[in-house]
Amino acid sequence: MFVISIWIISLASIVLMLVRPRGIPEYVWIGGGALLLVATRLLPLGGAVHAVREGVDVYLFLTGMMILAELAREEGVFDWVADIAVRHARGSASRLFLWVYLVGTVVTALLSNDATAVVLTPAVLAAVRRAKVEPRPHLLACALIANAASFVLPIANPANLVVFGAHLPALAPWLRMFLLPSVASIVATFFCLRILSRRALAGEAAPMGEPYRLDAAGWLALAGIGVAAVALLASSGLGIPLGAPTCGAGLLALVLVAMKDRSAPKTAVRNVSWSVLPLVAGLFMIVEALNRAGMMRVTKMGLGWLAGAGDGISGGIGKFGGGFGVALLSNGMNNLPAGLAVGTALRQMGQTGLLAHAVLIGVDLGPNLSVTGSLATILWLIALRREDAEITGWEFLKVGVVAMPVALGLALLVLR
């Protein structure tokens, strides 16, 4: 009964997070489920505290990234970038799609997939509305590239920190492992979405008016992002945990912008989605409870079998089985809890090679199948609703069921 109760409460919390009945925020369901596990002593208080402490680096990373993203939005950096993309399109909806995709790739790599989903998406929507083109392909591009480019660099996705924990590879080894699969993922996703959207992209874009210009505070916000990117790349290259440098970069950007616009930092901090932090902490607690209820044992058995099967060319069954298996799991229960569970199991098993790398790609890229697969796509959907522009889960799935398997298959194929 003890084990069954943990599974019922935990899975119900995850399902309610994904469904959001009555529009109640995700963190309420996850936080409520986590507290219920503690209150009923299904999860000891010491275990809960340990689980929350395990996520400190992730919380710091998210805090810094959300501050940087909100500063950029507040000072019009993303509107400026979107305006540049529209102008380079030179009246072509197809070229505009390409530029949106390229911008999304850069933003994801340097500012994380959550920034692309939450902040770049509204700017792109405003740009395509001004250009009077069909918005759906461009909005889908924001969501898909947020996942497809999320393993270009270690800083591109909080899930990377969750999967590897304190053993996150430094920048040079990371690039050796994931650069080629990232390129395959980005290119394959682009062509899949481009082909599926060919009719909507056949039209022309309306001419633009006066160009969007950044003021002094906007340039300082952009400079702050640049400093953050350099600091994070340096930290990654030195093998330093990314949480503290990211948070420090966000605070530095607040100080820089305050030199020209004193109200902007306060507004940016107020607009940060702070609810993401208790959501992630609650997920850490729920995964800890599920591990105590046998999930860790089952996960290790599955990974152990895949590790033993991966003795063919380039890892064969183990590589593809691990990548696609965790990709499907991520869509069933969201990639943060899935990545945390599988990543913990891999570390305890001492698995740091090809199987671990395939699992990370599955965790990052797998959510391109459905809108419930990652925190980034959930936040993307919420951002669209705020702007009165919604893409249904079915519309996303029709694209994802083609784009995700193709991109994941090619990324795993070139993984060495």
What's the pLDDT at 315? 52
How large a percentage of the chain has pLDDT more than 90?
30
Determine the residue type at 199: R
Torsion sign over Cα 350, 369, 288, 163? positive
37-42 mean pLDDT: 93
260 secondary structure, DSSP code: T
Tell me which of 415 and 313 has the higher pLDDT: 415
What's the token pair of residue 23?
Answer: 């529009």
Asked whether residue 313 carries a pLDDT value surpassing 50, the answer given is no
Instruction: Note the pLDDT of residue 20.
Output: 78
Q: For 14-67, give the DSSP string.
A: HHHHHH-GGG--HHHHHHHHHHHHHHTTSS-HHHHHHHHHHTHHHHHHHHHHHH
Tell me what pLDDT residue 140 has: 96
- Mean pLDDT for all residues in the chain: 85
Stated pTM of the model: 0.84
Select the more confidently predicted residue: 216 or 35: 35
Short-list 326, 289, 327, 346, CA closest to 167: 346
What tokens does 37 get? 């596990």
Instruction: Kindly state the average pLDDT of the residues 59-76.
Output: 84
* Chain segment 337-396, per-residue pLDDT in tens: 888 888 888 888 876 778 889 999 999 999 999 988 888 888 788 778 777 787 888 899
Distance CA 271, CA 193 (A): 32
Predicted local confidence at residue 151, as pLDDT: 95
Per-residue pLDDT of 200-251, as tens digits, reads 888 777 766 677 888 888 888 888 778 777 877 787 777 777 788 888 888 8
From the list 246, 276, 250, the residue with the least C-alpha distance to 265 is 250
Q: Mean pLDDT, to the nearest integer, of 52-57?
A: 86
pLDDT at 190: 97
Go through the chain and tell me how many residues it has.
416
Under the banding of pLDDT at 50, 70 and 90, the label for residue 310 is: low
Average pLDDT over residues 97-104: 92
Residue 97 is predicted with a pLDDT of 93
What is the pLDDT confidence band of residue 308, given thresholds at 50, 70 and 90? low
Predicted confidence (pLDDT) at residue 166 exceeds the cutoff of 50: yes
Over residues 104-131, the mean pLDDT reads 84
Sign of CA dihedral 235, 152, 85, 372: negative
Task: Report how far residue 415's alpha carbon sits from residue 316's, in angstroms, rounded to the nearest whole number.
Answer: 11
Which tens digit of pLDDT belongs to each residue from 8-22? 998 898 888 877 788
Q: What is the CA radius of gyration of the chain?
A: 21
Instruction: Provide the 8-state DSSP code for 204.
Output: B
Q: Which single residue is written with the structure tokens 């999320």?
A: 150
Give helix 93-111 / helix 77-89 axis angle, nearest 10°: 150
The whole-number average pLDDT for the span 298-319 is 68
pLDDT higher than 60, residue 312: no
**What pLDDT is recorded for position 3?**
87
How many CB atoms sit inside 10 A of residue 34's CB?
A: 28
Compute φ and ψ for 267, nearest 5 degrees.
-65, -40
CB atoms within 10 A of CB 166: 9
Residue 159 has pLDDT above 50, yes or no: yes
pLDDT at position 208, please?
65
CA dihedral 357, 147, 89, 133 (to 10 degrees): 150
pLDDT over 80 at 91, yes or no:
no
Q: Are 78 and 36 in contact (CB under 8 A)?
A: no
Q: How many Å separate Cα 370 from the centre of its chain?
A: 13
Type and span of the H or E element at 369: none
pLDDT band at 309 (very low <50, low <70, confident <90, very high): low
- Looking at mean pLDDT, say which of 19-23, 101-105, 166-170, 331-335 comes out highest: 101-105
314 pLDDT more than 50:
no
Residue 92 bridge partners (DSSP): 204
**Residue owning tokens 């197809």:** 94
